[in-house]
Chain A
Amino acid sequence: MDVIVLVAKGAIGGAFVVLFSALGEVVRPRGLAGITSGAPSVAVASLAVTVVATGVAAATDLARGMIAGAIGLVVWCLVGTEAVKRFGALKGSIATTGLWLVTAFSLWAVFLR
């Protein structure tokens, strides 16, 4: 059962990521299109499958964790703007991902554990 749920999350999550990134390719200007880079594509899929397969309580806990992750993503974007300017897209964005991990896990450890 768990494997089926994971496969469903993976398949639907991947499909939503493709859908939102296609939307980002279509929309102009780039600043507006960039909003889709912060789309809750994985979240929509995972939460929907969790509600159906596990129940609302589990989905609520997932969404609680997502609050910490989203704060991490805001930090990622704010620092990422400068990092991409300074170090280029690949190095800048990968380096900033470490900051997401620190922010999100710290918030989880302090408020959600």
Chain B
Amino acid sequence: MTSHAAASNASANEPPAADVGSLRKIRAREYALRFGFGAAVSVVAGVVGLLAGYRLGGLFLAFPAILPATLTLLEKKDGVAQAVSDVRGAAIGAVSMLGFALIAVALFPRVHGAAILVALGVWIIAGLALYAGLRVLARLLGERQYLPEIPASEAGPALEGLRRQGWTIGVAESCTGGLVASMLTTLPGADTVVRGGVVAYTDAVKETALGVNGDTIASRGAVSPEVAREMAIGVARKLGADVGLGVTGHVGAPHDGTSRGLTFIAICLPDERVFLRTYTKDHGAGRNRERDVRMAIRLIVDATGAH
């Protein structure tokens, strides 16, 4: 862990930006799913309109069709805090959508089809204005960012997986500061599978306590897949555990040219296979940490289940 912790409302001050590269990460199946939901709701609105009147059919033009799917996907990838942020954004979109509908009703008799374009323009302007206004208000009132408590019960499947395999685990943590070990040891019966944990926050501790090679840190950086791997292998060896977990990432602004929010999580199994996960998005310090803890637990679940 080479960077200093940032303020917990880092994402609150994140400026608007576009990341076109993220489009490539979406699978064709996800696009197809969204198309299917959109098409289905459009057809339902059309059929209801034909059978029971256009006013009733019109209800479905504002049906929250893809929100459950989007939120579930978002929670899985980036944590529940991001899903909550999305719903808050959707609320702005929904209020603006009300403006869209009102403008459409008012302008259809006058300008016909062009009313749709005007209403769409109103939706965009109202959405951006509401977003900007709420940002200003949040700064004036003091932002209260939602950071969820992670229920210890979420660690249950990880412990069960380890128990099923008959494995013990050692945990080496940098950016998560011991939270993964804390979650694992909260549940009853953890003593049969958890050997212990090392909070290796500095490079020196990574080297002395875990045996991470100083040259690896110097050449690849403390936040790198190689260091996560060596942390996992090292903690298993030092604590005499069957499985080692290593977590290294940036909490705040990195000073080594890598991106904010970057985290590597590695797990080393008894047969010496190492699984690695990489997370690159920055959601602000608190949310990055929530994601890292959850994803570390999930990696244990996946690695023990996949065996």
Contact = CB atoms under 8 A, between A and B. Distances in A.
Interface residues of A, number: 82
Contacts of B38: 13-18, 41-42
A72 B62 contact: yes
Interface in B159-186: none
Interface residues of B, number: 85
Interface in A47-76: 47-48, 50-52, 56, 58-74, 76
B46 A85 contact: no
Contacts of A41: 38
B97 A29 contact: no
A88 to B, nearest CB: 7
A30 B86 contact: yes
Contact of B89 (A32, A63, A71, A85): A32
A59 B31 CA distance: 28
A63 B58 contact: yes
B68 A93 contact: yes
A51 B54 CA distance: 12
B34 interface: yes
Interface in B77-134: 78, 80, 82-98, 100-102, 104-105, 108-109, 112-113, 116, 119-120, 123, 127-128, 131
A81 B88 CA distance: 7
Contact of A42 (B42, B90, B101): B42
A100 B11 contact: no
Interface stretch (B16-24, B223-231, B246-254, B271-279): B16-24
A89 B39 contact: no
Interface in A80-107: 80-81, 84-85, 88-90, 92-94, 96-97, 100, 104-105
Contact of A74 (B20, B94, B100, B112): B94
A38 B92 contact: yes
Contact of A65 (B39, B55, B82): B55
B84 A36 contact: no
B150 interface: no
Contact of A13 (B41, B68, B72, B95): B41
Given A26-B18, A71-B98, A35 B93 contact: yes
Interface string B20-40: 101100100001001111111
19 contacts: A17-B38, A18-B34, A28-B17, A30-B82, A30-B86, A36-B89, A37-B93, A42-B63, A43-B97, A46-B46, A65-B55, A67-B105, A69-B62, A70-B94, A72-B59, A77-B91, A93-B67, A100-B63, A112-B55
